[in-house]
Structure formats: structure tokens, C-alpha cells
Copies of this chain bind each other. A is one copy, B any other.
């Protein structure tokens, strides 16, 4: 409706540049502050003093609140900021210690340890004090040394290489080493591990990606293979990191995952594919939309910001998956007639049938998503 005058635009630009310059100074000061804090921590550690000093923190907050009031800022606002700043410096200080190992002295070999997920697990095991070795495809020449004396071999390679690599590495493993895979399908890898390795075997499927900053409350599906007692420490390690362990047979796991992974990701892929094909006015749709749309489109955008190979693997992993996806597409064609005739009654009847099937989950979903929408609004 309103045209922005050039005058107004250049004033705005000037003010914004001023704000940017201030922000730059603030971040510089925060960096300087962090360095001072690091020195305090080093000094305290050298003198065996506790890092956390509640009284000092409260003094600091009080002083900043007072200053804020004088400077025309809301003291609660400044306190909120400083709680985060202080919390952060504590996290940095204590972060290193929080990740204890449950089996001190054990050695872990991450097969595929130069892939994203492999590196991720290597970091976690290292952080917990384990001896960690990583190997990738170029390390086969050194395989005997790498496997020598290890307590755990974790296979973290693309799905379509998993079986081959299990078969290739198994002969080199100490017989009592735990063999674990972290593939997102479980039936075939587990069978292969059981056949190739006579020792303890465990199938894991961590339901998170390498960008997850914490394992807290992240789910890991565990499918028992052989010698559960000998495998238990690996499960305990994930529990110690905060993960939730869900147990299942490999068969059940794979069936559930057809929906959780294959169908869902494929449906998202199709949606994004159509948006691109139609050149949907993406930026404009975001400006025009409710937080929940932003969230939903975010789910689509998120998929396409990740590794195409990974999703190809997930979607094409098994013939059962591909059959399910074909069925999905075919099922959609049934809706064509309703769209052609504009028959709302058919739509509503179908809608009610599905709603009945979802049952109480719908209400729960409303509650959960409303909570998230509030968070989204707060933040953006």
C-alpha cells in the first residue's frame, strides 16, 4: 500500500548501520569477556577452587540490573541476558566433564569414522574417555592393527555397504569384541553380523543425525543379537549420555520404520519436488503465513538441506519400502475424482474416517504443536 520514500529509506539504512555497528561491538566484548572468564577458570582449577560461585553471580546480576535502570533499560531484560551469559560460561566450563564413560579403558573402533555420523560417535566416545580408532575405506591395509585388542566395533557406513563391510571386517575382530551397527534398517545387518561374528552382537538405530548437539532424550532402538550381557555396557553408555533405549525385534523395527522414515521422508520429498516444479513463491508464502506453516515448510526445507545420498538410502533401503511408497502414490489417485467434481461431502466423510482412526492423538497433537507455536512466536 505505502511506497517507501527515498528519504525515509536512507534514514532507515543509516539507523540500521548504526545498530549493526553497536551489535558488532557487543559481540566483540562478549568474546573478550569469554577470554577473561577462561582465565578465571584456569586460575581456579590451578588453585583447586570451585568453578561455580553463586554469590559472585548474584552480585554481578544485581550490579547490571542497577546499571540497566540508570540507562533506561528494563532490569528484567538485562537479567535475562546475563543469566544466559553466565549459564553459557558455566556450560563451557563443565561441558568437558559431563560425559563419563561406563567402561573406562575400553577401546572403540568406528568403522566409517570419517563419515558424518561416524565422526559424531567418535567425538562422543572420545569425550567419554575411551580409546577411539577410526577407519575408512582407505584403511583396509591397516585393518589387523586397527582391530587389535578392541572392545567394540561400531559399523557406521552407508546402508548399501553395511553387509559387505560387516563380512569383510568380522574375521579381524577379537572374538569377544562387541559388534554393533548403527544402520537405519536392522533385519539384514543383524543377520549378517550374527553370521560373520561369533561374539556379542547388537543392532542399534540411533534416531538422530550428526547435527544433534545433545544425546539427552534422543531415542536409540536396540535389537538384540547375541550375548546381551556382554553388549550391555554399550547400551549403558548411551543411557549415560541421556539417550532413551527402546528395544524391538529387527522385524518390528523395520516395519515401523517403513512409516517413520521411508513414507514420511518420501512424502516430504514429493511435496518439495512439487513446490520446486511449480516455482512456488517461497519467500512470499513465508511472509504470508502462520507460524505453523513456517514450521511445516521448515520440515520440508530441512530435508533438502541434508544429504541426498542418505535419503536415497533410507527410501530405497528395502523392496518392502519401495512397495509401500508405490502404494502411497497409487492411493492418492483415488482422490482425483473428488477434486474433479469438487465433492466436499466425499472429502468430509473421508476426513472424519481418518480423524476417528487418529483418535485421541489429534488432541494431543494440538496441545503439543500449540506449545511449539508459542515458542516459535517468542523467538521469531
Q: Mask for A340-371, Cβ within 8 A of B = 1, else 0?
A: 10101001101111110110011111101111
Inter-chain contacts of A218 with B (CB < 8 A): 290, 377
In angstroms, Cα B2 to Cα A235, docked, is 12
A15: nearest chain-B partner, CB-CB: B40
Contact A355/B288 with A23-B60, A344-B316 known, Cβ cut-off 8 Å? no
Binds B, one of A129-137, A175-183, A246-254: A246-254
Which of B28, B304, B351 is close to A355, meaning CB atoms less than 8 Å apart?
A: B304
Q: Would you call A12 an interface residue if the criterion is a C-beta within 8 Å of the partner chain's C-beta atoms?
A: yes
Is the CB–CB distance between A292 and B288 below 8 Å? no
| Residues of A2-42 whose CB lies within 8 A of B | 2, 4-5, 8, 11-12, 15-16, 18-20, 22-34, 36-37, 39-40
The smallest beta-carbon distance between A64 and chain B, in angstroms, is: 6
| Residues of A234-293 whose CB lies within 8 A of B | 235, 246-248, 252-253, 255-257, 259-260, 263-264, 267-282, 284-293
Inter-chain contacts of A335 with B (CB < 8 A): 270, 273, 325, 329
Inter-chain contacts of A214 with B (CB < 8 A): 374
Binds B, one of A49-57, A108-116, A146-154, A187-195: A49-57
In angstroms, Cα B36 to Cα A310, docked, is 47
Binds B, one of A76-84, A99-107, A120-128, A161-169: A76-84
Q: Would you call A230 an interface residue if the criterion is a C-beta within 8 Å of the partner chain's C-beta atoms?
A: no
In angstroms, Cα B369 to Cα A295, docked, is 7
In angstroms, Cα B274 to Cα A326, docked, is 12
A290: nearest chain-B partner, CB-CB: B207
In angstroms, Cα B4 to Cα A295, docked, is 40
Inter-chain contacts of A284 with B (CB < 8 A): 248, 252, 256
A68: nearest chain-B partner, CB-CB: B27
Is the CB–CB distance between A80 and B84 below 8 Å? yes
Give the interface residue-count category, chain A.
35 or more
Is the CB–CB distance between A84 and B77 below 8 Å? yes
Which of B5, B74, B247 is close to A47, meaning CB atoms less than 8 Å apart?
A: B5
Is the CB–CB distance between B301 and A352 below 8 Å? no
Is the CB–CB distance between A358 and B304 below 8 Å? yes
Is the CB–CB distance between B285 and A256 below 8 Å? yes
Which of B68, B88, B313, B331 is close to A273, meaning CB atoms less than 8 Å apart?
A: B331
Is the CB–CB distance between A67 and B301 below 8 Å? no
Q: Would you call A73 an interface residue if the criterion is a C-beta within 8 Å of the partner chain's C-beta atoms?
A: yes
Is the CB–CB distance between A43 and B276 below 8 Å? no
Offer 7 A-B interface pairs, CB within 8 angstroms, sorted by A: A22-B32, A27-B64, A27-B67, A264-B271, A304-B354, A306-B366, A315-B347
Besides A19-B33, A207-B290, 13 new A-B residue pairs in contact (Cβ under 8 A), listed by A number: A1-B247, A2-B49, A2-B247, A8-B49, A16-B40, A23-B82, A26-B29, A80-B84, A246-B288, A272-B358, A301-B361, A308-B348, A322-B339
